[in-house]
Amino acid sequence: MNISREQMLRLYTTMLTIRRFEERVAREYYAGNIAGFVHSYIGEEAIATGVCAHLDKEDRLVSHHRGHGHCIAKGADMRRMMGEIYGKRTGYCKGKGGSMHIADFSIGMLGADGIVGAGLPIAVGAAMASQLEKRHKVVAVFFGDGACNEGEFHEALNLAGIWKLPLLFVCENNQYGVNTHYKAAMAAQEITRIPEAYHIRNQSVDGNDVLAVYEAAGEAISRLREGEGPYFLECMTYRWHKHFLSNYLPDLRPQAELESWKKKDPIPAFQSRLLNQGILTVEKIQEIETKIATQVEEAVKFALESPYPEPEDALEDVYSG
Amino acid sequence: MREITYDQAALEAIQEEFRRNPKTVHLSTDVPLDLQAEFGAERIRGTPISESGFVGAAIGLAGSGFRTVVNIRMATFAFVAMDQLINHAAKITYMFGGQAKFPILYRMTVGAGISAAAEHSISPYSMYMNAPGLKIILPTTPYDIKGLFRTAFNDTNPVISFEHTAFGNLKGEVPEYDYSIPFGQANIRREGSDVTVVALAKMVYEALAAATELEKTGISLEVIDPRTLVPLDHETIKSSVRKTGRLIVVDEACPTCGATAEIVSLVTTDKSTFARLKSPPVRICGLEVPIPFSPPLEKHVIPDKDRIIRAVRELVSEPVSEY
């Protein structure tokens, strides 16, 4: 695979940034400082990182409720993300969306949808726009295994297929819809059988191996840019937290399974590899950690110091002018 | 002035917009062939019967800078895509803090009267009135649909156009010059002095027929067509009621939580208008049943001119109450 040292360092840094951001969000959530629902991306960082490394600003992305990683990997400002997660006026959505609904249209991040599968038809439309613009831009839509049993998912595959849209389907198969294993929920048993039935090129990769994701996404996206039609990438992974952060939601997944997946943590594996190749050094790792810690700290500080919206702001933005 | 049909007027508005703005897309299962011949199959795109898919695609197109017209055909089919319409189209501008605009025109037909039975007959506008973020238009003439579409094409929000199935071939005067009809501006279809009749969709014509007949007996109806439900022209309705002192609201949708309830409420909760009422407002609505197939049954459940006439006669013969 053709990948530069700089790119490898960027992949490492992005994954680690998502991890540290999410760790901090979880800490603040459990400390009672964040309201509502937070769906943690910890464990799945390699996917957003490997895919978004191939997207430029004019490529679009549609995300879902577990969307912080996609935002960071697409280049969103962590301060405004944290502002949103804290419900502050300075957040990306002025505090009207929260953790589940972060969007930054200025970087092609068309937002996170909290209804499972619902982002897929929206991504179809975004890909139609890219196709009509004829500038070889693509759209990546992220969704989980749970979305694959929704009707909107099947409609989106069909539409992307018949219209040969430049749409990359990225299935983050973390294997559970809340507590239901995907094999108990899916007659096809293997997710790639579904795009196969729709005659959409597809591949399943280790979603905890950032280079595997990077390589597969790179090939898929270059084909998309050439107008070869949609591509379906399944990334096998596992989430470390419960469906959403909660003291009450039960986690019915086998503990041993969770532990075994934690051993497949995408970050240390990649770090060792970079150390072995001399791309990273212990000092460099520390430098990156310090930089990220500062950024996350600044994001939290920004959120804390930002004002809440005024009550009357509730009436704004129902319609655009 | 030239006369064209309601359907032609709608298509003409779309055609003019597509000529003006190249970043426009039309999605529908039945392709308007004339438009496709002019603008190509990419922009005038035929879709599979996949309502959630193409209703949602319009949102993605809009968020990416394209204006989209989606012809869903019957309003009953739109229920298939309710997630996209309510959870996304209606909420997305607000939920993302107004950082993007979603210019979409969703068209769907409403109403009964063609023995299409329950799954192809409904007037569900009040359900959508309950979802902030949508604008709702209810054009009743060729002139209105063209002028309201023109306004929809200058709007940056999702607009739903509810078009009665009976209107497609309705002919009317439509000027060749460019014009628009603002949202939130009711049309006083007929001026009168005894009773204000606010009628929706096809009921506008039943109310006008009733007015013609009642005129012979010396009863004068003022017939108001709101034309848009969101925004709704409160002022025209209230000032008419202040003049006549009597209100009848007619709609073929069910009464419960209907647009008629909203209209009665805006009158009765307004102190100065309420004070001028000579009698309690009356609602004439479709009966509280799914629309039946058999022609006599269907006719029975939908209001008509005769029900309006009976209600008016009863209303004006009542002694004026003392509030």
Domains, chain B, ordered by start: 3-173 (3.40.50.970), 187-315 (3.40.50.920)
Task: Give CA–CA dist A85/A90, Å, rounded.
Answer: 10
Banded pLDDT at B52 (limits 50, 70, 90): very high
Task: Give CA–CA dist B142/A71, Å, rounded.
Answer: 47
Classify residue A187: in a domain, yes or no: no
Task: Give CA–CA dist A129/B191, Å, rounded.
Answer: 48
Classify residue A162: in a domain, yes or no: yes
Classify residue A279: in a domain, yes or no: yes
pLDDT at site A2: 84
Structural domain tally of chain A? Answer: 1
- Closest CA relative to residue A217, chosen from A72, A18, A48: A48
Q: Is B168 within 8 Å of B125 (Cβ atoms)? A: no
Nearest to B64 among A120, A126, A321 (CB): A126
pLDDT tens-digit profile of A3-13? 999 999 999 99
Cβ neighbourhood burial of A2 (10 Å; 0-12, 13-18, 19+): exposed
Classify residue A141: in a domain, yes or no: yes
For residue A115, the SS3 value is coil
The DSSP element (H or E) to which B116 belongs, if any, is none
pLDDT tens-digit profile of A157-167? 999 999 999 99
Residues in chain A: 321
pLDDT tens-digit profile of A252-271? 999 999 999 999 999 999 99
pLDDT at site A298: 98
pLDDT at A290 over 50: yes
Q: How far apart, in Å, are the Cα atoms of B302 and each of A106, B111, B211, B308? A: 50, 9, 18, 11
Nearest-by-CA chain A residue for B57: A125
pLDDT tens-digit profile of B156-178? 999 999 999 999 999 999 999 99
| A318 with B25: Cβ contact below 8 A | no
pLDDT at A246 over 70: yes
Touching check for A152 and chain B: CB below 8 Å? yes
| Over residues A66-78, mean pLDDT | 98
Classify residue A46: in a domain, yes or no: yes
Nearest-by-CA chain A residue for B101: A320
Task: Give CA–CA dist B275/B270, Å, rounded.
Answer: 8
pLDDT tens-digit profile of B111-148? 999 999 999 999 999 999 999 999 999 999 999 999 99
Q: Which of B24, B28, B49, B59 to mutate to test the interface with A (most CBs of A within 10 A)?
A: B59
Q: Which residues in B lie closer than 8 A to residue A162 (C-beta atoms)? A: 48
pTM of the model: 0.97
Q: How far apart, in Å, are the Cα atoms of A214 and each of A9, A52, A220, B2, B214? A: 13, 9, 10, 62, 76
For residue A162, the SS3 value is helix
Interface of A with B in 64-83 (CB under 8 A): none
Q: Is A217 within 8 Å of A51 (Cβ atoms)? A: yes
Q: Cite the active site residues of B.
A: 120
Touching check for A111 and chain B: CB below 8 Å? yes
| Over residues B27-38, mean pLDDT | 97
pLDDT at site B323: 46
| Over residues B210-221, mean pLDDT | 97
Banded pLDDT at A1 (limits 50, 70, 90): confident
| B61 with A125: Cβ contact below 8 A | yes
Touching check for B218 and chain A: CB below 8 Å? no
Touching check for B96 and chain A: CB below 8 Å? yes
Return the percentage of chain A with pLDDT > 70, whole number: 100
Task: Give CA–CA dist A62/A40, Å, rounded.
Answer: 17
pLDDT tens-digit profile of A46-70? 999 999 999 999 999 999 999 999 9
Banded pLDDT at B321 (limits 50, 70, 90): low
pLDDT at site A167: 98
| B62 with A156: Cβ contact below 8 A | no
Banded pLDDT at B320 (limits 50, 70, 90): low
Classify residue A156: in a domain, yes or no: yes
Nearest to B56 among A96, A122, A320 (CB): A122
pLDDT at B322 over 60: no
Q: Calculate the dihedral angle through the C-alpha atoms of B298, B303, B304, B305, rounding to the nearest 10 degrees.
A: 160
Nearest-by-CA chain B residue for A108: B64
Banded pLDDT at A226 (limits 50, 70, 90): very high
pLDDT at B265 over 50: yes
**What CATH code is carried by the domain that includes residue A159?**
3.40.50.970
Alpha carbons within 13 A on the beta-carbon side of A43: 22
pLDDT at site A6: 97
The DSSP element (H or E) to which B316 belongs, if any, is helix B305-317
Q: Is A38 within 8 Å of A244 (Cβ atoms)? A: yes
CA angle at B137 for the pair B135 and B140, rounded to the nearest 5°? 180
Nearest-by-CA chain B residue for A60: B64
Give chain A's mean pLDDT. 97
Distance in Å from the first CA to the final CA of chain A: 48
The DSSP element (H or E) to which A221 belongs, if any, is helix A210-225
For residue A201, the SS3 value is strand
Classify residue A205: in a domain, yes or no: no
Classify residue A184: in a domain, yes or no: no
Alpha carbons within 13 A on the beta-carbon side of B118: 7
Domain range for A241: 5-105+112-178+220-249+256-307
Banded pLDDT at A218 (limits 50, 70, 90): very high
